[in-house]
Structure 1
Amino acid sequence: MNQSYFQLPLDKQKNLINAGYKVFAVSPYNKASMLSISMEAGISKSLLFYYFRNKEEYYLFLFHTAIEFINEHKVQLKGEKVYDFFDLINMKIQGRMKIIAEYPYLYKFITRAYYETNEGIKSKLDEKKRIIMSIEEEEFLKVVDYNKFKNPSHVAILLKLVLSVAEGVMRGREDLNTEKILQGVREFEVMMESLKKHYYKEGYLSLVEGR
């Protein structure tokens, strides 16, 4: 890519990134056009090709940048510390909210990239896909406090359920304003309180409510 891209003001760099995330999030790689991206970004197609030699280079740049954003907001877990399950989930959601506020289509782009079928681009993504998740499930399950649960064997299942609920709550809100996105987060928090009452032992619920 042309290094002059990095000499652009940060708002213009961000605009080019968001335009790509949006177009590639809506359409698969083969159908997304650089013309559509340039129109979304409000620049000419020739200028877009000035910064990025071709669609593949631009796409891989977007993917690499998305991973960097996710890692930047990744919750750093310490193996010797035990965490409350729902506190961990909250930290994960807060990190995601910070990214969505600046890059609304990033997670939808990542999801589509993960299942991309174009052989040319797919082979270049395969080695990078393992670092997509902001908190790996395996890492999460190693540090969570199992003592608070009525049935510790259900924790792994609960984690998958919670992550699915979180994805469902946020889906389709990319074009909404911040207040409506926060409304979705509040809905999620209500659901988490309900799950907490179902899965936690009574003694720990009393401690939580008394905070």
Structure 2
Amino acid sequence: MNQSYFQLPLEKQKNLINAGYKVFAVSPYNKASMLAISNEAGISKSLLFYYFRNKEEYYLFLFDTSIEFLNGYKVQLNGKKVYDFFDLINMRIQGRMKVIAEYPYLYKFITRAYYETNEGIKSKLDHKKRMIMSIGEEEFLKVVDYNKFKNPGDVAILLKLVLSMAEGVMRGREDLNTEKILQGVREFEVMMESLKKHYYKECFLNLLERR
């Protein structure tokens, strides 16, 4: 990758990233062309290849950048504070909605990348994929309020369940528009409310209802 890319104004960098997210979100890796990306970005194909040697390098850059964006919106947890489990999940959701606002095709791109079948690119993505749904499990489990749970021993299991549910909500949505992605988020929030009623002590549920 040509380091001169990072010397571009931030808006131009963002434009080039969003162009790639859009084209790769709409088409699988094999069918997405650098010409289509350059047209979407409003630059020449030769200039695109000036910044990135080939499609694979550009694609992997986009993937790494998407992870950086998601990690950048992770909740900054204070280890001295105790947090409500479901508040932490909701904070995470709100952060990811901010990502969608700035990079509308990022989630579609990640979803398609997550299930990419091209063998050449797939092998290079495999070790990165585990980062996609990660929300810092160890850090999360250190600060969550265990006192609200009927059985504190369920917290680690519940976190894995929630992550699996989140992955399930994302699967197959690579061709959906933003409104349908938001609909999926709302469905996920309903699931969280149901889990809260199952795992939390009655006294804490009563307190929440009085707010």
Amino acid at match of 1:106: L
For the 8 Å contact 1:169–1:188, the answer to whether it is kept is no
Displacement, 1:76? Answer: 3.7
| TM-score normalised by structure 2 residue count | 0.77
The residue that corresponds to 1:14 in the other structure is 14
Q: Structure 1: which 5+ residue stretches go unaligned?
A: none
The residue that corresponds to 1:197 in the other structure is 197
Amino acid at match of 1:75: V
Displacement, 1:90? Answer: 0.9
What SS is found at the alignment partner of 2:101? helix
The residue that corresponds to 1:53 in the other structure is 53
| TM-score normalised by structure 1 residue count | 0.77
Query: What do the CA deviations read for 1:129-156 (whole angstroms, capped 9, x no partner)?
Result: 3433340445544543333233556545
C-alpha separation in 1, matches of 2:206 and 2:25: 43
C-alpha separation in 2, matches of 1:78 and 1:141: 12
C-alpha separation in 1, matches of 2:192 and 2:122: 36
**CA 1:189–1:129 in 2, change beyond 3 Å: closer, same or farther?**
closer
Tell whether 2:39 aligns with 1:39.
Answer: yes
Q: Structure 2: which 5+ residue stretches go unaligned?
A: none
The residue that corresponds to 1:121 in the other structure is 121
The residue that corresponds to 2:106 in the other structure is 106
Amino acid at match of 2:53: R
User: After alignment, is 29-38 or 166-175 more displaced?
Assistant: 166-175
What SS is found at the alignment partner of 2:57? helix
Displacement, 1:163? Answer: 4.4
C-alpha separation in 2, matches of 1:191 and 1:26: 29
C-alpha separation in 2, matches of 1:18 and 1:50: 18
Aligned-pair identity (%)? 85
Displacement, 1:70? Answer: 1.6
C-alpha separation in 2, matches of 1:111 and 1:187: 18
Report how many residues are paired: 209
User: After alignment, is 1-10 or 30-39 more displaced?
Assistant: 1-10
C-alpha separation in 2, matches of 1:122 and 1:97: 27
Displacement, 1:64? Answer: 1.7
The residue that corresponds to 1:147 in the other structure is 147
The residue that corresponds to 2:69 in the other structure is 69
The residue that corresponds to 2:27 in the other structure is 27
User: After alignment, is 127-136 or 20-29 more displaced?
Assistant: 127-136
**CA 1:65–1:13 in 2, change beyond 3 Å: closer, same or farther?**
same
Displacement, 1:52? Answer: 1.5
What SS is found at the alignment partner of 2:53? coil
What SS is found at the alignment partner of 1:133? coil
Displacement, 1:36? Answer: 1.9
